Chain A
Amino acid sequence: MIAIIISIVLVGIFVVSSGMLFGVTRYLRGAQSRASVVKPFDIVAFATLLDREDELFLRKQLPLRVFTRLKRQRVRLTLRYVVRLAANAAAILRTHRIDWQMAQVDAELDTKATAILDLAARIRLECFAVSLKLLIEFIFPSRQFQTTTLVPQYRALRESMAQLQKMAVGTSLGLVSAL
């Protein structure tokens, strides 16, 4: 019986995941088209939120209860930035696969497009890890985790995209400005 239950669960997960990929619901289709747009992202504000020295200073100066409340507000806000960063990386993955397809005849463009897709995928993965760490910090406000690797990677992604857009025919700079 356990084997049948495992089989049913696995088949159920397959049906749900293939349905999600297939995009059969109107909401998922709508969400995908909205998610293909890269939204403006304030990288300076994000870097400020990640600044640990600022946080250490507040911890020394404020009573624990006040610091805990402030820390949690800061974590909630940081999470919203991370979610937007992840969504932007996803939009870049969607849009730059077009570059990758168009770049099949141009080795240099292909390399650049591959590098951007790769970097965007890594940023998205890092966003997952950062989200988990921030959630732990929300539960245990006295803990701190280093999350600053996202910012240099995002910068590298942006530089690569600018170079790619210079190389590609019929450039669109909309993505870079949104970053």
Chain B
Amino acid sequence: MSYENLIHGLWPIGLVLQGLLATVLLSKKAWQKFPFFTSYSLVSFVTTVALFGLRNSPKVYFYTYWPSEGLGILLELAVVYEVFRYLFSPYPALRRIALNTFQGVILVLLIIALGVFYKNTATDKWHVLATALFIIEESTRILELGFLVFLFVFSRAFHLYWKQAVFGMALGLGVFVSVELLVVSIQAQFHTSTLGLSSLLRMVSFNVGLVIWVTYMLVPDASPVRTGDLPTQRELELWDQTLRRFIYR
């Protein structure tokens, strides 16, 4: 079975999954809580339908694919921002600290992305266009995945609480972007010799991301449950007195 046949087999599955995600998001009125993620899902669905229809017209397909890919990346960055905003909403002071750290991380990632960009050069005219597009995509994917890694590491360090839907958004996006980054890095190095396999891997990873998103959008958050023993009033007053003695000494 060739890569082309596999891609043509998986494409409708991806369309169905995207349609399902769009249905779930619209039925849950997700645009009120997650406007960027909802926009991303709907735009992605529409462009996938359009590209599926244009699959037999290579030139039109090419000029539709790359702008839609660029729009998709911009919306994905907006989704990462949405995850950031949701994650830090109960922690105003921590949000300020995270923003400052985030700016440092952005700077480091930009330097890496620009370094990767300038390191890769091509001599053939056709390869300049195709390779340049892969290199730009590679650089932006580094930024995207770097942001997600920062959010995961920072939230782990501070034991921040992730709502199910928000974690699902970040995880699904991270899985998809990870594979995208590896694939475009290899394509930028080895040009078009791996195009069939890389297209298949990208499609599979996006479908996996879709499954994760649909699952986490449907799973409800766990009901809050309080645990812990009740101390006496006397114990509470003793601690209070100890602290006051220290402060007013």
Contacts and interface: CB of A to CB of B under 8 A. Distances in A.
Interface of A: 1-4, 6-8, 10-11, 13-15, 17-18, 20-22, 35-38, 43-44, 47, 90, 93-95, 97-98, 100-102, 113-114, 117-119, 121-122, 124-125, 128, 151-152, 155, 158, 162, 170, 172-179
B239 A179 contact: yes
Given A3-B138, A11-B182, A43 B161 contact: no
A122 B158 CA distance: 9
Central interface residue in B112, B145, B167, B227, by most chain A CB within 10 Å: B227
The 8 closest A-B pairs by CB, nearest first: A177-B231, A174-B228, A17-B152, A98-B224, A7-B185, A121-B94, A97-B161, A90-B159
Interface in B209-249: 224-232, 235-236, 239-240, 242-243, 245-247
Given A7-B185, A21-B167, A118 B92 contact: yes
**Taking chain B's interface residues, is the majority helix, strand, or loop, or is none over half, making it mixed?**
helix
Contacts of A152: 247
Interface residues of B, number: 55
Nearest to B92: A118
A14 to B, nearest CB: 5
B243 A158 contact: yes
B228 A21 contact: no
A117 B91 contact: yes
5 contacts: A7-B181, A122-B94, A125-B158, A170-B226, A172-B228
A17 B178 CA distance: 13
B34 interface: no
Nearest to B171: A18
B40 to A, nearest CB: 19
Contacts of A97: 90, 161
A13 B145 CA distance: 10
Given A3-B116, A4-B186, A7-B138, A36 B227 contact: yes
**Taking chain A's interface residues, is the majority helix, strand, or loop, or is none over half, making it mixed?**
helix
B25 interface: no
A165 B149 CA distance: 35
Interface string B141-152: 110011011001
Given A3-B189, A13-B149, A18-B152, 16 more contacts: A2-B119, A3-B116, A3-B188, A7-B141, A7-B182, A10-B145, A11-B178, A14-B152, A15-B178, A21-B162, A95-B227, A114-B90, A118-B92, A121-B94, A128-B157, A177-B235
A67 B29 CA distance: 66
B246 A151 contact: yes
B125 interface: no
B149 A125 contact: no
